Chain A
C-alpha cells in the first residue's frame, strides 16, 4: 500500500507564482522527509529535506512545512520559474529505505 500519499497529481502555475504540493504519511517511525525533483531522462535529485522535530525549513525559493501531529508535510515553490518544470516526489525515510509519493508534475508557464 502507498505509505506516502501525494497531491495534486499535476499542477500548472504562471511564472512568478507559488506551487504547493502536499503529502501525508501514516508510519510514525519515519525519521527524515526529503523532496526530490526529477527531469525527464534523469534520476531524482534531492531538493530539500526536513527532520520531524522541525516545523519549517527554507532553502532559497523552496520551503518545506511539516506538521508532525497531522502527519502531513508540504513543499512550497516560491517565484516559480520555467526551469522548475519537473516532477516532484515527496518521500519518507525509515528502516533503511525511502517510501515515495506518487509524484506531482509541475508545469510553469512563461
Chain B
C-alpha cells in the first residue's frame, strides 16, 4: 500500500513569506503528526491531529499551525518565515496514535528560507 506522501519535496522561500506543506497519510490512518528535523535540534514534535482535532502541540511559536481534513489529509502552515525555519519537515501517520505499532514517516519536505 502507498506510504505517507508529502508535497512538495523541496521548497525555497524568502524570509517573511508564508508556506503550506501537505501530507497524505497511509490509507486508514487517522492520526497525523508533524516533526521538524534540523542538524542542531534533531527531531522535534510540532503537533498531532486525530479526526480533525489537535491532541497535542509542541513548543513552537504561533507562526506554526496545522490542520487535518475529514479524509485525514493534513497541512501545516508557517507564516512570516525566518531563516531558522529552514529544516526538513516530516509528516508521520498512525492508525490511532497510541498502542498502534508506531508511526510511519514520509520522506519529508526540505524547506530552505533565504
Contacts and interface: CB of A to CB of B under 8 A. Distances in A.
Task: Indicate, yes or no, whether A interacts with B.
Answer: yes
A41 B37 CA distance: 12
Interface string B8-47: 0000000000000000000000010101000000111100
B66 to A, nearest CB: 13
A25 interface: no
Contact of A103 (B42, B90, B104): B42
A97 B105 contact: no
Given A43-B4, A96-B55, A97-B56, 8 more contacts: A32-B102, A43-B90, A44-B90, A96-B33, A96-B56, A97-B33, A97-B45, A99-B45
Contacts, number: 58
B107 A41 contact: yes
A98 to B, nearest CB: 6
A27 B14 CA distance: 39
Interface residues of B, number: 26
Contacts of A61: none
Q: List 6 tightest A-B contacts by C-beta distance, closest first.
A: A43-B105, A100-B43, A96-B56, A97-B45, A96-B48, A96-B55
Nearest to A34: B102
**B interface secondary structure, majority:** strand
Contacts of B4: 43
Interface residues of A, number: 22
Contact of B108 (A32, A43, A95, A99): A43
Interface in B57-79: 58
